Amino acid sequence: MSAIGKKGFQSFVDRYFDGSREDATAWLRLRSYESQAATFAERELQRRIDAGEKVVSVELPVYDFGDDDVPL
């Protein structure tokens, strides 16, 4: 099973990142941070709505690693 996972990851790296494991890992890490921020925002917004607030919003951080890719 581990070999299948390694082959799948290498295929992903080769297809989308020209074989650069570092770039692929950085991209996956960035997506993880964004997912965690979105999960926090969803919980916080729901908590505030449940508390009776009529209008709610949350500012989300932007993760920028200095490359040309614009993060969400």
Q: Is residue 60 part of a domain?
A: no
The C-alpha atoms of residue 7 and residue 49 are separated, in whole angstroms, by 45
Taking the alpha carbons of 9, 18, 35, 29 in that order, is the dihedral positive or negative? positive
In a domain, 36, yes or no: yes
CB-CB neighbours of 34 under 10 Å: 16
Residue 70 lies in a domain: no
Region 3-27: mean pLDDT is: 91
Say what the pLDDT of residue 72 is. 46
Q: Is residue 28 domain-resident?
A: yes
- Which range has the worst mean pLDDT, 19-23, 35-39, 59-63, 67-71? 67-71
* DSSP state letter for 44: H
Residue 7 lies in a domain: yes
Average pLDDT of 1-14?
89
pLDDT at 5 over 90: no
Task: Taking residues 48-72, report their average pLDDT.
Answer: 78
* Residue 10, domain extent: 2-50
Query: How many distinct structural domains can be found in the chain?
Result: 1
pTM for this model (two decimals): 0.65
